[in-house]
Amino acid sequence: MTSLQQSVRDPVFATEVNVIGTLNVLEAAKALKVERVVFASSAAVYGTPRAFPIGEDASISPISPYGASKAASEYYLRSFEESHGIEAASLRFFNVYGPRQTPSEYAGVISIFAKRAIRRQPLQIFGDGSQTRDFIYVSDVIDATVAALEKNLRSRAFNIASGKEITILELAKTMQEIIQAWSELKFYPPQTGDIARSVADTTGARNEMGSIAKTPLDDGLSTTIKWFADGPAKHADGRTIARKPREKTDRWK
């Protein structure tokens, strides 16, 4: 369960899915004598950082149930490593974006902006837009995950991010420029649990796994926007996916 806001509304669900789900994976790993588990953690474990960029040794102090669920899961990984010898590494993803991301209430801001800007709809900004985020393209996250699976990174946590920050307002304007459509910007009150600034120190990840953020933000945004403009039924190479029509039921009305 990836939504911070949803976790605030339903912390029990966040715990059941994220913490118990992680425990289920660890129990299965123990039963199958798995050598290594790589956990998809989150920058949300840091809560409101006190220093920037955020180092991997920064204190864990989540301010949302989502962040707490990720922090608890990290501790469970370490406990299984000590108790059962399963090598454990936690990758603290910052703001991951790219094609195929669902542009819903619970998705990342880039996918939401992309869909709305393409349709010439207003872009919704919570707060004044000065809050910053550190965005990392999905293929770079995949490369980091594969690298972590291939290495012995016992009891380690790594920031998977670009190491660069951009304000949400600047992001909106950059996407408008790429699309060449200047949708109206609408501002709303800040969201509960939102932080003012986020940018990672990725030194540890770079030392262990090499270059992390290989995709410049403008390139990643252009690719993501093109995917949304083409429609989900197209591959990146332009081939069209043949889809079976959904059976008409009340669920899909």
241 three-class SS: coil
> Cis ω on the peptide bond leading into residue 11 (within 30° of 0)?
no
Residues 66, 76, 97, 137: which is the catalytic one?
Answer: 66
List Cα–Cα distances, 199 to 18, 52, 53, 82, 238, in angstroms: 24, 7, 5, 31, 34
Contact 168/129 with Cβ under 8 angstroms?
yes
Q: Which residue in the block uniquely carries the two structure tokens 């540890």?
A: 204
Active site residue 76: no
Please, what is the Cα angle at 32 between 152 and 34, to 5 degrees? 5
Q: How many CB atoms lie within 10 A of CB 83?
A: 10
**Catalytic annotation, residues:** 66
